Amino acid sequence: MSALRLATLEQRHFHLHNTPLQQLTEHMTGLDTLCRTLGVTPLSRFVDVTALEFSEASRLLPAEDLPLQADPETGLPWSIEDMAWFPASTGMTTLEALSGHLQRNRPREVSGANHGQLLDALAFCESHLRPLEAEGGQFHLAAGH
């Protein structure tokens, strides 16, 4: 897995953000440990592996068994329904807890992380989820190559 990327969904409007969330990817285990300590949903629960599954399937299946055209809503070979989605509000609870904790502390669970980049990645996700929270929007962290 190269890096997670934020995907958002409001109504049927799908957006896969280009910004790679490298620090979240590299330090997922430590961040999950922090989430459990803070009593919030672990970050890894929000990961969607549809792209990885499709990549693996396309490696194993003959080309004629794969979709020939991109889904009109996602622009990807798979549809909105193929992916796992989570309420933006649940994600915000986790992101805000992690962000607040990391602003006050330098926890050993993420030692070796670039602290500034880690906070930036969390802030990036928060900035895109905050407007969706009130609208009942959804999101996931898309895993890909």
Q: Taking the complete model, does pTM exceed 0.85, yes or no? A: yes
Largest interatomic CA distance in the chain: 54
Domains identified in the chain, total number:
1
Kindly report, residue by residue over 35-60, the tens digit of the pLDDT.
999 999 999 999 999 998 888 877 77
Q: Give the CB-side neighbour count of residue 106, counting CA atoms within 13 A.
A: 6
Residue 60 is predicted with a pLDDT of: 79
What confidence tier does 66 reach under pLDDT thresholds 50, 70, 90?
low
Residue 34's domain spans which residues?
Answer: 5-142
Pairing verdict, β 86-87 and 5-10: unpaired
